[in-house]
């Protein structure tokens, strides 16, 4: 009975970093609204990371029709990790799920992550991580991602083959316990494991980008990721030992 009560209280905020995604915002938010029929999505938090197009105006127009939509703006482009942290901090829900703003993640997969999460509501520091069953990207992008993922998995031993999939669900408060640094979104599974958390994997879809321009290039994904891995390895060696404690009463 207690678990049922906990499950019923798990509201979800969808956190979406966007940079110049005016062409994708309307369709993506409509799909999230459709997904909310199958998961308790009570907030849609769009973080505009310094867009120079009409992304903010499109989202504000949609907000007039749906009060669940929230817009937070960065005055200066700060990167995906900063945008995710801004969105999670702004959320007021128990759970957050992150996704890309380019339409390649399918919001219809959000209920899958939620269903997996509520199976183990009492597990501390739990993350449900999507892993793309079939990448819909260029050969160069696939090569870069697989190379980076292979090196990261070998060095960090996080057991996740696809940390580049942005669809991830976790408790808001758990995420905010993590050390923040630029590009940290690429290492969330390892950072959760550092806090003695648990990672559950769910296969999700992936789609071609139909509109707009990718914000990442070959060197952004490969070299930046490689240099960050060594920093995360250092963090992992400095993780606190897990301890159990009980309150002593007379």
What length is written for the chain?
250
Higher pLDDT, 151 or 162: 162
**Six-digit token string for 71:** 């817009």
Please report which confidence band the pLDDT of residue 151 belongs to, taking 50, 70 and 90 as the band edges: low
pTM, whole model, 2 decimals?
A: 0.80
Interior angle at CA 109, CA 107 and CA 110, nearest 5: 70
**DSSP label at 183?**
T
**Furthest-apart CA atoms within the chain: distance in Å:** 66
Cβ-contact 100, 31 below 8 angstroms: no
Label residue 123 by pLDDT band (50, 70, 90).
Answer: confident
Q: How confident is the model at residue 140 (pLDDT cuts 50, 70, 90)?
A: low
- Homologous superfamily, domain 2-140+161-211: Spore Coat Polysaccharide Biosynthesis Protein SpsA; Chain A (3.90.550.10)
Encode pLDDT of 43-81 as tens digits.
Answer: 999 999 999 999 999 999 999 999 999 999 999 999 999
Average pLDDT of 20-27?
Answer: 96
Condensed to tens digits (0 to 9), the pLDDT of residues 175-207 reads: 999 999 888 898 899 899 889 899 999 999 878
> Using the 8-state DSSP alphabet, how is residue 194 labeled?
H
- Average pLDDT (160-166) is 78
Domain ranges for the chain, please list them: 2-140+161-211
pLDDT at res. 4: 39
- Please state, in angstroms and rounded to a whole number, the distance separating the CA atoms of residues 231 and 154: 15
**Is residue 133 pLDDT above 60, yes or no?**
yes
- Residues 6 or more apart whose CB falls under 8 angstroms from that of 217 comprise none
d(CA 128, CA 21): 26
**Chain segment 199-249, per-residue pLDDT in tens:** 999 999 878 676 656 655 545 555 556 667 766 666 777 766 665 656 676
Q: Whole-angstrom Cα distance, residue 129 to residue 117?
A: 10
Distances (CA, A) of 21 to 26, 28, 48, 83: 9, 10, 9, 14
User: What is the reported pLDDT for 229?
Assistant: 72
Q: 72 Cβ partners below 8 Å, 6+ apart?
A: 45, 46, 47, 48, 86, 87, 90
């Amino acid at each position: 009975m207690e678990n049922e009560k906990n499950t019923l209280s798990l509201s979800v905020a969808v956190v979406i970093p966007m940079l110049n995604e005016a062409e994708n915002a309307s369709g993506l938010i409509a799909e999230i609204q459709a997904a909310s029929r199958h998961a308790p999505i009570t907030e849609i938090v769009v973080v505009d990371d310094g867009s120079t197009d009409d992304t903010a105006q499109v989202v504000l127009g949609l907000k007039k029709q749906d009060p669940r939509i929230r817009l937070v703006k960065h005055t200066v482009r700060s990167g995906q990790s900063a945008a995710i942290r801004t969105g999670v901090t702004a959320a007021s829900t128990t759970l957050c799920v992150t996704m890309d703003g380019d339409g390649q993640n399918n919001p219809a997969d959000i209920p899958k992550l939620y269903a997996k999460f509520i199976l183990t509501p009492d597990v501390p520091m739990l993350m449900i991580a999507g892993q793309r069953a079939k990448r819909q990207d260029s050969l160069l992008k696939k090569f870069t991602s697989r190379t980076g993922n292979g090196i990261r998995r070998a060095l960090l031993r996080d057991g996740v083959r696809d940390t580049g999939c942005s669809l991830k669900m976790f408790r808001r408060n758990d995420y905010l316990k993590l050390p923040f640094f630029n590009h940290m979104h690429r290492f969330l599974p390892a950072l959760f494991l550092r806090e003695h958390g648990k990672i559950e994997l769910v296969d999700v879809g992936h789609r071609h980008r139909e509109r707009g321009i990718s914000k990442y290039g070959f060197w952004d994904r490969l070299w930046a990721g490689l240099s960050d891995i060594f920093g995360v390895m250092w963090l992992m060696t400095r993780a606190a030992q897990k301890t159990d404690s009980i309150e002593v009463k007379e």
